[in-house]
Chains A and B, each alone.
Chain A
Amino acid sequence: MGILEVKGVNKRFGGLQALGDVNLSVEENTVHAIIGPNGAGKSTLLNCFVGKLIPDSGSVMFDGQSVLGRKPYEINQMGISRVFQTPEIFTDLTVLENVMIPCFAKRDGAFRMHAIEHVGSEAAIREQAEQMLDDVSMLDKRHMDASSLSRGDKRRLEMAMCLVQDPKLLLLDEPTAGMARADTNNTIDLLKEIKDKRDITMAIIEHDMHVVFSMAERITVLAQGTPLVEDTPDNIKGHPKVREAYLGEAQV
């Protein structure tokens, strides 16, 4: 039993079959990549995991519980955090505040009315957030406005915001999209470091084969909304069906 079990998921948008009978199992403490050409349904699938979309049929079980019909915040509270294609952070707040908010969400749940105490009196939350920022080497930037960070730092900050909640599953939606090679390598190093330090499962949607093959332990290839193969990176590289459907003439 994987930590994330997807069975027979279908999703149609009007006449388009976005997902057709998707079965997928993500094992605990692995890095599982989902790859496929544009329009293969990768993002649709991911949106079904986090409550943004509800499949027409099928089941998505996380840690033994169904996520279907739950709101994004409820699914997060179950232990799934998500990193977006373009970093989604609180741009009007400081870096430290950005990381303190998920700490509050983790400690107090989806809502708590704490309107009179001062943020500064929450020493434990602050320490936790600072520790996390130290882990991603951003402690010196904690008082900056998040909007003034570089793209790479915004990505780091978003990761810190997800990781500080100690999620069981981290979903990454093209974490290196639009990045220069150096930034991409930094991100890979950061993710590897995270993986080495803690027990965490990662599911990555990625276009960049360099990222996929330097990180993934399992790979699922999606084409036209249906999984073609699921295997180890070495086997995927040489798989004829994958070459045909996705890799084309590219050398990998």
Chain B
Amino acid sequence: MLGLNKKDFSLLLFVAFLAIAAPFLLNPFPASSSLSFLNAGYPALMQLFAIFAIVLIGFNILFGLTGYLSFGHAAFIGIGSYTAMWMYKLLNFNVIIAIPMAMLVTGIFALLIGWISLRRTGIYFSILTLAFAEMAYRLSYSVLTPITGGETNLSPDPVNDPMVLKSEGGLTVPHLFGFDLNAKTTWEVGSWSFTFEAGYYLCALILIISFYIAIRIFRSPFGMMLRAIKSNNQRMSYTGLNTKPYMLAAFVISGVYAGLAGGLLVAMDAQAGAERMFWTESGTIVIMAILGGVGTLLGPILGAGAIKYMEKILSSISESQLHTWLGILPDWLEDAMVYILANFFVGHAWHLTLGLVFMLVVIFVPGGLVELGQRIGNRFRRKKPDTAPSGETTPAE
């Protein structure tokens, strides 16, 4: 089906299901319960899940297949964002122009940066990409301020910007052929409340398409060549293959995915800032890939979701929230627990939780969340040997 084998197709269906049903799946707690705080099914966060899943799918084509670790991928998100924003300012707010242009311009930058960085391998390649990303970050706060808006961020100005394609009285928010991407409907079911937003579903659709293309690339002769380069670069060149254009193509594809994500960020929220390109953002992308499972198809998506969830939810748990949850404990224990959790694991300290989770994964399940899922699946299957094997956690190779 669609040129995929059965296993890959069921994986695609699984991801499509996750993306489409996210408003339900991520909202397990009723709005009135004290745990509703853990719900992630609101549009702004679901958009981030989908957008970072796209970044990671692209990142995985480079890192997962070729083993080349780019430490500057956030720069491409930034470039995509600025491009999309300038399309708003110069032309109009239709994302059908902004997003493809974000991909195109990011692709050109990726070609240039890749062409230079790929002269080196291993750690030197990583450092070169990091250097380019830092340059992009610093430049956008200094000499490039007229283009990037510097510290004030870049946002559209309907009064002074040319917006040559905008019709009289046209929308001044991101839209798709006049359809406002912020349009929402809310379903109240019992004490649950589910929100469906046009913008999120645009992200979800693009995520599904991106994932489909990534599977095709993984299974193509091109994907096989990339794995061969990772496996034995020397044999590759003595086999009559020029590894450089293969690597460059993988780098550019990967960059275009990040540019697409950058464009989508601006399509969801019309502002762009340089902090998106800071090196810790690039680092987070690497951590997402490793946490999820490098080189697997599903892993990067899970990694992106897990980290964005922790970043948004863990970091905003407050002491009073903890007191409500732990209210049934004796007071002294409650206070002690709240003190420990609030100071070391949630709120501002959420990075420590991330660090611990990351360490545990790298030490005990180096294959990431995908391997964890497989191990649990195997244990489950051993007890009930007749359970049909699920294709949910199929590694790429």
State the Cβ distance, A163 to closest chain B Cβ, in Å.
Answer: 12
Pair A114/B242 contact, Cβ less than 8 Å = no
- Asked whether B241 lies within 8 Å of A106 as measured between CB atoms, the reply is no
Residue B309 interfacial (CB < 8 Å): no
Candidates B213, B219, B231, B237; contact of A73 at CB < 8 Å: B237
Q: Which chain A residues (65-99) contact chain B, with CB distance < 8 Å?
A: 71-73, 76-77, 81-82, 88-93, 97
Instruction: Please report which residues of chain B, range 224-279, place their CB below 8 angstroms from some CB of chain A when the two chains form the complex.
Output: 224-225, 227-228, 230-232, 234-243, 245-246, 249, 253
A50 contacts chain B at the CB level, 8 A cutoff: yes
Of B5, B216, B220, B241, the contact of A110 (CB 8 Å cutoff) = B241
Across the interface, name the chain B residue whose C-beta is closest to A83. B238
B25 on interface, CB distance cutoff 8 Å: no
Q: Report B-chain residues with C-beta under 8 Å of the C-beta of A102.
A: 239-240
Interface of B is mostly: helix
A118/B240 contact (C-beta < 8 A), A88-B232, A93-B224 known: no
- Known contacts being A117-B221, A118-B219, is A90 close to B240, with CB within 8 Å? no
Chain B residues within 8 Å of A72, by CB: 237-238
Give the number of chain A interface residues (Cβ < 8 Å). Answer: 35
Q: How far is the CA of A113 from the CA of B241 in the complex (A)?
A: 12
Docked CA distance A234–B397 (Å): 52
Within 8 Å of chain B (Cβ to Cβ): is A13?
no
Nearest residue in B to A125 (C-beta to C-beta)?
B221
Other-chain residue from A91, A93, A120, A161 in contact with B239 (beta carbon distance below 8 A)? A161
How many pairs of A and B residues are in contact by the CB < 8 Å rule? Answer: 104
In the assembled complex, which residues on chain B have CB atoms less than 8 Å from the CB atom of A105? Answer: 239-241
Q: Does A100 touch B at the CB level, under 8 Å?
A: yes
Do B217 and A115 touch across chains, with their CB atoms under 8 A apart? yes
Q: Within 8 Å CB of B231, what residues of A? A: 90-93
Q: B17 in the interface, Cβ–Cβ < 8 Å?
A: no
User: Given the known A-B contacts A88-B234, A91-B232, A92-B227, are A101 and B219 also in contact in the complex, defined by CB atoms under 8 Å?
Assistant: no
B3 lies within 8 A of A115 (CB): no
Cross-chain contact of A116 among B220, B225, B227, B242 (Cβ < 8 A)? B220
CB-defined contacts of B222 to chain A, threshold 8 Å: 113-115
In this assembly, does A104 line the interface, its C-beta being within 8 Å of a C-beta of chain B? yes
Is the CB–CB distance between B223 and A115 below 8 Å?
yes
Residues on B with C-beta less than 8 A from A81 are 238
State the Cβ distance, B115 to closest chain A Cβ, in Å: 14
CB distance from B364 to the nearest CB of A (A): 23
Q: Are B238 and A82 in contact (CB under 8 A)?
A: yes
Partner of A117, one of B220, B234, B236, B243: B220
30 pairs across A/B with beta carbons < 8 Å?
A73-B242, A73-B243, A76-B238, A88-B238, A89-B235, A90-B228, A91-B232, A92-B227, A92-B231, A93-B228, A93-B231, A101-B228, A102-B240, A110-B245, A111-B241, A111-B245, A111-B246, A114-B220, A115-B216, A115-B217, A115-B220, A115-B253, A116-B217, A117-B220, A117-B221, A118-B3, A118-B220, A119-B219, A161-B235, A165-B240
Which residues from chain A sit less than 8 Å from chain B, CB to CB? 50, 71-73, 76-77, 81-82, 88-93, 97, 100-102, 104-106, 109-111, 113-120, 122, 161, 165
